[in-house]
Structure 1
Amino acid sequence: MIKHKDIASHSMYHSLESNLNNKFTLTCLLLLFLLPLVLLHLQRRRRQPKNPNLPPGPRGLPIIGNLLQLGPLPHRIFKTLSDAYGPLMHLRLGQLPTIIASSPHTARAILKTHDHKFCSRAPVVALRRLSYGGLGMAFTPNNARWKQARKLSMVELFSAKRTQYFKHVREQEVEALMSTISRARALGPVNLSEAFLCLLNNITCREVFGWRASGEGECARSGFHEMVAEGIALMGGFTAGDFFPTLERPLNALTGAHARIERCFIEFDKFLESELDSRTRQAGPEDDRDDFVSVLLRLQEDPSLDVPLTRDDIKALLMDLFFGGTDTAAATLVWGMTELVRCQRAMRRLQRELREGLGEGEKPVVEENDLERFPYLKQVVKETFRMHPPSVLLIPRECTEDCVIDGYDVRAGTRAFVNVWAIGRDPKTWDDPDEFRPERFENGDIDYKGQHFELLPFGAGRRVCPAVTLGEAIVKLALANVVRRFDWEPPEGTRREDVDTEEAFGLIVHKKSPLLLVARTPSY
């Protein structure tokens, strides 16, 4: 007969044996994943020149390199490291040799001097999948398809003529935003983060498809907003497979990144297919619509194109429009209002310019034709871009040929980030860089369209954002109307200087918490 003590001992033995087996299994799996990385690391070291003159940078750990140093806000970590190691810094992020440019001089080297060698996009997993394998314009490698997509975008989608054509759309949607704020303010603080995102989604949907994302006359969230937000979140992050390309599939399968990206892609692709099918069925000689979908479908029939425009090409371009067109301007508007409410002096000066320039209530809204009359508005927008560039590290590039920058060797295959956030906070370029001071742009010498490397919110060179003029018009128009129509204060109990500026990192850096402000009728 077996005693209770024997049963307990037997049970403990099997429990211990099971734990040991589980630990052994996990150890074996870990070794299985790490062994290829170790072998690749050793092989790469044997192939590399004995003494490459790499840019300075912190030493990394075996296998993972400097990954543990990234933190939740990489642009701030990169600036701190660059302050110690210099404006051109070398890191190893997993398997990826990486350089960080953190000064106007080194940014110029990558974006202009060696632009032809850094013109290709780094193969980031989410960007590659959501751009239909590297189609479209924003995330495509440097090839014939990208050159054609860029040409079509510049000539057909973002030309001055096309921007002017949609002026009435932007003005109508800003009026809808004003009505929404007027209703919402009676209930308490207004969520401007939500309001601006809805504004941009409505404008983008009307320009692309000809319909609004919100209900008629409203500026409110819908299911469409959630779909776009998920895509933007995925495109702004890195997966484990991005840092270890040779193990991309198993790592992203284990972490769930692959499944999440695939779900988003399938949902968005289904939506785009439905829209294109609907538009194709409605097409005919009497269809005179001139939104972006109509333009692209007409171009698809153009036999003079160097590269045929496929259905996937069109869907990838539409992805670019949504992911690049909504978040950038919405984030800029939130940051602009955040800084203005924190700096009462700047807010009052801008309100005085807008209210005196158009008269107190003589015109219900500021129109785009009025914007050139407001120089301080332009300075506020520039200062917002300096302190809060939407894409703080720009979209990563990949070096395709060996080159030398400032005497340092940069090898083909190196990933390159331009830290435009650090450039905008560089005390060598800007006095009191952490202070919101729009007056620093009074002389108008510095602009943000890619010619001045001190201010690069939209990049420069071949990869400069082609929609700068369109984005600029939306930001100025919305900001002018919101500031002119209402007086803005923090919620009760919050001082102006205590309105937080904490960031949430991504492809576009947003304010981490929603911007809630009290809107009051102006006293004039």
Structure 2
Amino acid sequence: MELLSWLLSGAALVTLVLFFKGFRFRPRLNRPPGPKPWPIIGNLNLISSLPHLSIHDLSQKYGPIMQLQFGSFPVVVGSSVEMAEQFLKDHDLNFSSRPKSSAGKYTAYDHNDMLWSPYGVYWRYARKIFFLELFSMKRLDSYEYIRAEELRLFLNDLYTSCGNPITLRHHISSLTLNNITRMILGKKYLGESDELKKILEEWLLLNGVLNIGDLIPWINFLDLQGYVKRMKALRNKIDHFLEHALEEHIAKRQDHLPKDMLEVLLQLSADNPKPELKLSRNQVKALTLDLLAGGTDATAITIEWAMSEVLKQPQIYKQVTAELDRVIGRNRWVEEKDIPNLPYLKCIVKETMRMHPLAPMLAPHFARKNCKIQGYDILQGTRVLIKYMEHRERSDIVGCTK
């Protein structure tokens, strides 16, 4: 009994020493500033129906880097150019992955597109395909005739509408959609264009919403906002469209150089000798969806905002018109090779994108391991949001030449 008592006392003493030693030397974390979270919901009570505006207001109080708690997950927000460089350039490998989400599961073929796929072999291979195969200068130059044809049809359509009120965005959306579908799928979807527009608009919306179930996983099955139901319905529409396009391409596939981007993906899937890099059918569809969604609505919105801002400022309208008359003249159309010689027009595009950013908040990243940003500790698993919300006042671009 004495031996047992001695052993128990010794064990208790060792445990006590280790506890205090660990407590004493445990490094204290220096986390970014931010509001105190509530139990369960964290700081979701501070987020309105327009999350980027709520986060902008919070960043004005807590600075260019702050930490919030969204339900079960810590979220660090970077809201300056310096913070964006830290997360996306200096520490890009650590923050290159994406958290799992309902949007990635239901609208991106179980996280198999470029937006939601986790960092790994497939992500690196898909990224290589985009840079070296789909968006190479040679590939893009080969589609210049498509862009020129569609632009002339667009301008002719506007000319025939002279004297009548029109909705500019409808015409621009048709232009961008026809361009994209011809380059990616090899043809225009005239009879299905309106339905395809609705599919892509719904995809963009559902991939940008703040789904409560993603942030508090144990209530996800309730689908409190109804987003998951809409995602599942959209998944069926997307798959029906892409399956049809895929079957058409497979049926007419021949031994020739690929003419459109879907043919490139099918060729890479069939010819890759490495089994781990062979694209599955769902992966081909997921990457095709990325191409369709990324090149339609975004381009149309930017053009519409640029036209709106220029028309509201006669002095800028006169100066850009003078540049076009000087460089191009009035006897021919503007061509893509002319763009480097139109610095003022390029300034207008850049200023439009500054004033009216397409994505005021990027899709979330997350930390793959612990690291320090600006002296603050970012723990593994922390979600990271990069916010763009600068002042909206116009810059003086009247004399811009760069």
TM-score after normalising by structure 2: 0.88
Q: Measured at CA, do residues 307 and 221 of structure 1 come closer, stay the same or move farther in structure 2, by a change above 3 Å? A: closer
Q: Would you say the 8 A contact 1:121–1:140 is kept in 2? A: yes
Residues 412-466 of structure 1 deviation map (CA, whole Å, 9 limit, x = unaligned): 11111111233xx3xxxxxxx6114335864x4xxxxxxxxxxxxxxxxxxxxxx
Map Cα deviations across residues 464-522 of structure 1 (whole Å, 9 max, x no partner).
xxxxxxxxxxxxxxxxxxxxxxxxxxxxxxxxxxxxxxxxxxxxxxxxxxxxxxxxxxx
Maintained 8 Å contact 1:97/1:414: yes
Q: Per the alignment, in what secondary structure is the counterpart of residue 315 of structure 1?
A: helix
The one of 369, 390, 394 aligned to 1:435: 394
Sort the Cα spacing of 1:440 and 1:124 in 2 relative to 1 into closer, same or farther, 3 A.
Answer: farther
> Any idea what the Cα deviations from partners look like across 1:287-326, whole Å, max 9, x if unmatched?
6551011111111111334511111110010011011111
Tell me the CA shift for residue 396 of structure 1.
1.2
Q: Measure the CA separation in 2 of the matches of 1:131 and 1:155.
A: 22
Could you list the per-position Cα deviations for residues 364-421 of structure 1 after superposition, in whole angstroms to 9, with x for gaps in the alignment? x211122222110111111112222211112211111111111211111111111123
Superposition pairs of residues 103-182 of structure 1, within 5 angstroms: 103-182=80-159
Q: State the AA in 2 paired with 1:316.
A: A
Note the residue ranges of structure 1 that are not aligned, 5 or more in a row: 1-48, 426-432, 445-524
Specify the alignment match of 2:357 in structure 1: 389
Of 156, 167, 179, the residue aligned with 1:191 is 167
> Once the two structures are superposed, what CA deviation does each residue of 1:142-165 show, in whole Å capped at 9, x if it has no partner?
110010001011111000001101
The answer on whether the counterparts of 1:137 and 1:320 sit within 8 Å (CA) in structure 2 is yes
Structure 1 residues 111-164: Cα deviation after superposition (integer angstroms, max 9, x where no partner): 112111111012231133222111132221111001000101111100000110
Residue of structure 2 aligned with 1:204, choices 180, 185, 190: 180
C-alpha distance in 2 between matches for 1:124 and 1:137: 14
Which residue in 2 is equivalent to 1:22? none
* Matches of 1:181 and 1:367, distance apart in 2: 18
- Matched residue, 2:6: none
Gapped runs of 5+ residues in structure 2?
Answer: 1-25
Runs of 4+ in 1 over 6 A off after TM superposition: none
Match of 1:243 in 2: 215
Match of 1:344 among 314, 317, 323: 314
Aligned to 1:323, which of 264, 288, 293? 293
Select which of 237, 245, 249 maps to 1:267: 237
Number of the residue aligned with 1:97: 74
> Following the alignment from structure 1 to structure 2, what is the Cα–Cα distance between the partners of residues 441 and 151?
36
Counterpart CA distance in 2 for 1:289 and 1:307 is 19
Choose from 173, 192, 196 the match for 1:224.
196
Quick check: 1:214 aligned with 2:190?
yes
Aligned partners of 1:379 and 1:371: how far apart in 2? Answer: 11
User: Is the contact between residue 332 and residue 390 of structure 1 (CA under 8 Å) also seen in structure 2?
Assistant: yes
Secondary structure at the aligned position of 1:380 is classed as helix
Match of 1:357 in 2: 327
Secondary structure of the residue that 2:277 maps to in structure 1?
Answer: coil
- Equivalent AA in structure 2 for residue 408 of structure 1: Y
Aligned residues: 376
What is the identity percentage for the equivalent residue pairs of Structure 1 and Structure 2? Answer: 32
Q: 1:122 to 1:438 in 2, by over 3 A?
A: farther
The 1:439/1:60 distance shift into structure 2, 3 A limit, reads farther
Q: Which amino acid letter does the alignment assign opposite residue 297 of structure 1?
A: L
> What is the Cα deviation at residue 61 of structure 1?
2.9
Letter in 2 for 1:315: K
**Following the alignment from structure 2 to structure 1, what is the Cα–Cα distance between the partners of residues 131 and 183?**
16
How far apart, CA to CA, are the structure 2 residues paired with 1:81 and 1:143? Answer: 34
Note the alpha carbon deviations across 1:40-78, whole angstroms, 9 max, x for none.
xxxxxxxxx895321111233332222232223322332
Corresponding residue SS for 2:238? helix
Query: Which piece of structure 1 moves more, 146-155 or 351-360?
Result: 351-360
Over 3 Å counting, the alpha-carbon distance change for 1:115 and 1:349 in structure 2 is: same
CA deviations over 1:248-285 (Å, ceiling 9, x no partner): 2x132x54322211111111111111111121111234
- CA separation in 2, counterparts of 1:339 and 1:128? 38
State the alpha-carbon separation in 2 of the partners of residues 60 and 371 from structure 1: 50
- For 1:406, the equivalent position in structure 2 comes to 374
